[in-house]
Every structure is written in C-alpha cells, then in structure tokens.
C-alpha cells in the first residue's frame, strides 16, 4: 500500500499480481510502492530487487526514454535485465507540469530510489528533505559514486572504482589491471541500496518515520576487496593479483586438456587429495612424503603443477568432470554466459524465465533472463510484469493520482508526459 493508506505496509497482506511463477501467498513486499528515478544499472538493480520481492515499482523515465533502452554492445542487455516487474511512466522533469506529476508520485511512495549526480534531485525539489516534509514515512535511497567526503563530486563508473579501489589490480596480471567481467559494483551497489531500504522499512515499523539511505560504488568496491586489505593487516604482506597469487591449495587451477578444452579442478583438503590420487590412479603421488600435507603440496607447486598438467592432458574435459563428480571433488567447466541459457541445472530449477524484449530490433520477441537468486517459501521469484515499453503505465498512474482524461491529454500534448 502507498504512504497515504491507513494501514501499515510492514504488515500488509495485500495480494500480489499472480502468474504461474508467483508463490501462492503474497510476496514479502506486496503492497509497497517504490518510485525510482534511475538509469543505467545501479539504481535499476535496487528497484528490480524490490520489484522481484513484490513491491509495486514505478520507473520514472524521460519522455525520450531511458537511454539504456537503446545501448549497443555490452549495454544491450541492461534495460531488459534490470527493469522487469516494473511500471513505466514517462515525464519531462524540465516541464513544470511534468515535474508536478513526479512530485505527487514521489510523495505517494513508501520508497524513492535515485542515482543522479549530487544536486540534481534537489534542483527539482525531489530530494529527501523536500519529499519527507510532505511524507515523513518516506524512505529515500541515494545511489552515488562515493559517500559524502573528498571524492563525492567525482563522476564514478564501475571501471573508475574498480581501478581506484584495488579490484582491477587484484583481477589482472601484475602490471595489467583488468576490470571484472560484470558490472559488479553497480549490481552490488543496487543490492546494498535495497538492503538499506528493507532495514529502514523495519525501523519505520517501529518508529513510524522514514529515513535517507546512501549506497555508493566506491565503498561497495572497498567492501569487495576487504578480504585482501585484511590479509595485509594479518600477514604484513600485500595481496598479490589473483593470477600471480600464492595459492592456499596445491590443486586449484584451470587445466588445458584433450582437444584444447579447459576445466577447473581442485582438491582443497588432505582427504580430497587422497581421493583425487585414488580416482586418477596416481599412487606415486599419494605415497610421496613430500606431498603428504596441503602445505607440503603448496611448497611443491612449481614442480607438482607441471607434472599434473602433463598427466591430465590426455583426458577430455567431460571424462575429468565425470570422475570428479563421481568422487565429490570440486570441478567446473569453463562456460561462456550464453551457454548458461541451456544449463540443465538452471532450467530444471527455474533459475531462468522468459521475458518479452521491449525495445530494439527484437522488440516483442521472447528471451530468457536470469532470476533473482533466492527461493522463498519454496518458490523462485518470477516475472510478474514484463520489462515495460516506454510510458506503458503513464495513463494508469496519472489516473491514480487524480488526473482527468482531459488533463492527461493536455499533459501528453505539451510533452510533459508521454
């Protein structure tokens, strides 16, 4: 329910929208309204998490549409991936009439999320101070590059914070910093924003008042490399980049095998090492006293790993996978993202769902998307609403706010909305 309703959203039993993928009981955030002024990945991820959990999430877009609708290359999947289960209203915030709609909509919300540069929302009167004066129960989530401090006015990107926050250094080879192969800080920054919003909801249930929550890319990245910072604090030795690290385990590597295939293989305990030797018939390695403990094997890695590479080179990846799976040893094929669409586990467990693409040359066609990685009450959190077409819910939401058909027509004619 919205902030203007009489009963508390924290104990709402309002029914969620249903389809075959939805749990029989209401989703946890059913009845909550979220209004998001977001773009790209970080802010939309926060909204998607709340939407997947059952909230009504309204995406405020410019009349020309969120620019991620039409990105090419690595950005082509941004909009359909991070904007499912949401409604779209298209408003011109440079128009007084469009801005008035946005304010009325934001005041009706339980949660507002935004990820614009500092000062933008204040300029429009859409900041926490302005909105909470009208709705003291409002929870307001800022997604920024940096928390308040010396860096707060810098422009941040995932690459920027990965480079300055040590993650690119840890991912690449020495002297060759490399960003992680996904928008890890954007996605996790949005998730932390959602965690903060849900914590604020619980506190609001106690105090009756909302609050402002801040989530930031740089601080998220520092949290990700915190284990390496702590490693230095504990050992006094700087952490080496992952490709050059001193492994904690002797067998913990990618191996090139028959027909140029690759597979990751591991044995991370003394018991697993014995199992590995028995399974592959390496009795000599099992009996070698210089390899009897994990630390012994780590010290022997300069000679042990080349030996293992030679011994395993004649196996196919599938044969090694079968051996390791049979004996409960850790292994992994080296998969590409597109191969996961046919992954038997994901398809058997409901980890993928069909969506309808809203934009571009494939608009209207069906694609598979990865669902939020949770089960609740034994069910995956499914797709209730397709990624919206631009302004798909504008008229519906304007009517809810009390606008007449004539006023809606006038808003569209003046391009205050679309």
State residue 8's pLDDT score. Answer: 34
Model confidence pLDDT, tens digit, residues 355-378? 999 999 999 999 999 999 999 999
pLDDT, tens digit (0-9, with 9 covering 90-100), for 275-291: 999 999 999 999 999 99
Which of 9-23, 191-205, 255-269 has the weakest average pLDDT? Answer: 9-23
- pLDDT score of 24: 64
Mean pLDDT across 74-79: 94
Q: What pLDDT is attached to residue 246?
A: 76
Average confidence (pLDDT) over 47-51: 98
CATH of 9-224+348-413, one of 1.10.3720.10, 3.40.50.10540, 3.40.190.10, 3.40.50.300: 3.40.50.10540
- Determine the pLDDT at residue 244: 86
Above 90 in pLDDT, residue 7? no
Residues 254-258 have a mean pLDDT of 96
Asked if residue 310 lies in contact with residue 320, where contact means CB atoms within 8 angstroms, the answer is no
pTM for the predicted model, two decimal places: 0.89
- Minimal CA–CA distance to 304: which of 323, 328, 282, 324? 282
3 state SS of 268: coil
Domains 9-224+348-413 and 247-333 share a fold: no
Mean pLDDT, the chain, as a whole number? 93
Parse the chain into domains and list their residue ranges.
9-224+348-413, 247-333
Query: Of the given ranges (7-11, 206-210, 258-262, 310-314), which has the lowest mean pLDDT?
Result: 7-11
Report how far residue 212's alpha carbon sits from residue 111's, in angstroms, rounded to the nearest whole number.
10
pLDDT at residue 3 tops 60: no
CATH of 247-333, one of 3.30.1540.10, 1.10.3720.10, 3.40.50.12780, 3.40.50.410: 3.30.1540.10
- Reference 335, options 310, 351, 317; nearest CA is 317
**Which residues neighbour 236 within 8 Å (Cβ) at sequence distance 6 or greater?**
none
Residue 402 or residue 244, greater confidence: 402
């Amino acid at each position: 329910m919205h902030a203007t309703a009489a009963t508390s959203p924290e104990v709402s039993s309002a029914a969620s929208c249903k389809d075959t993928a939805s749990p029989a009981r209401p989703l946890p955030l059913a009845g909550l309204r979220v209004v998001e002024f977001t773009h790209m990945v970080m802010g939309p991820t926060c909204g998607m998490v709340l939407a997947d959990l059952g909230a009504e999430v309204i995406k405020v877009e410019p009349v020309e549409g969120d620019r991620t609708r039409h990105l090419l290359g690595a950005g082509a999947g941004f909009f359909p991936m991070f904007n499912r289960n949401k409604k779209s209203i298209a408003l011109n915030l440079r128009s007084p009439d469009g801005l008035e709609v946005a304010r009325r909509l934001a005041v009706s919300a339980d949660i507002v999320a935004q990820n614009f540069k500092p000062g933008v929302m204040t300029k429009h009167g859409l900041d926490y101070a302005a909105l909470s004066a009208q709705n003291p129960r409002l929870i307001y989530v800022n997604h920024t590059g940096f928390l308040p401090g010396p860096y707060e006015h810098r422009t941040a990107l995932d690459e920027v914070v990965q480079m300055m926050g040590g993650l690119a250094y840890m991912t690449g080879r020495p002297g060759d910093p490399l960003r992680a192969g996904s928008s890890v800080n954007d996605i996790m920054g949005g998730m932390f924003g959602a965690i903060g919003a849900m914590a604020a909801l619980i506190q609001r249930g106690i105090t009756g008042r909302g609050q402002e929550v801040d989530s930031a890319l740089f601080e998220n990245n520092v949290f990700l490399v915190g284990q390496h910072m702590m490693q230095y604090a504990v050992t006094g030795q700087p952490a080496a980049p992952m490709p050059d690290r001193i492994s904690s385990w002797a067998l913990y590597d990618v191996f090139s095998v028959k027909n140029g295939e690759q597979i990751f293989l591991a044995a991370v305990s003394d018991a697993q090492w014995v199992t590995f030797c028995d399974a592959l018939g390496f009795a000599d390695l099992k009996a070698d006293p210089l390899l009897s403990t994990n630390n012994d094997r780590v010290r022997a890695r300069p000679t042990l790993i080349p030996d293992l590479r030679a011994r395993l080179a004649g196996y196919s990846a599938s044969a090694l996978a079968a051996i390791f799976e049979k004996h409960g040893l850790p292994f992994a094929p080296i998969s590409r993202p597109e191969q996961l669409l046919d992954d038997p586990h994901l398809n058997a467990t409901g980890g993928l769902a069909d969506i309808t693409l809203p934009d571009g040359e494939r608009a209207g066609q069906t694609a598979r998307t990865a669902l939020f990685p949770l089960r609740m009450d034994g069910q995956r959190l499914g797709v209730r609403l397709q990624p919206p077409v631009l302004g798909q819910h504008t008229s519906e939401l304007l009517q809810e706010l009390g606008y007449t058909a004539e006023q809606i027509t006038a808003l569209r004619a003046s391009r205050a909305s679309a």
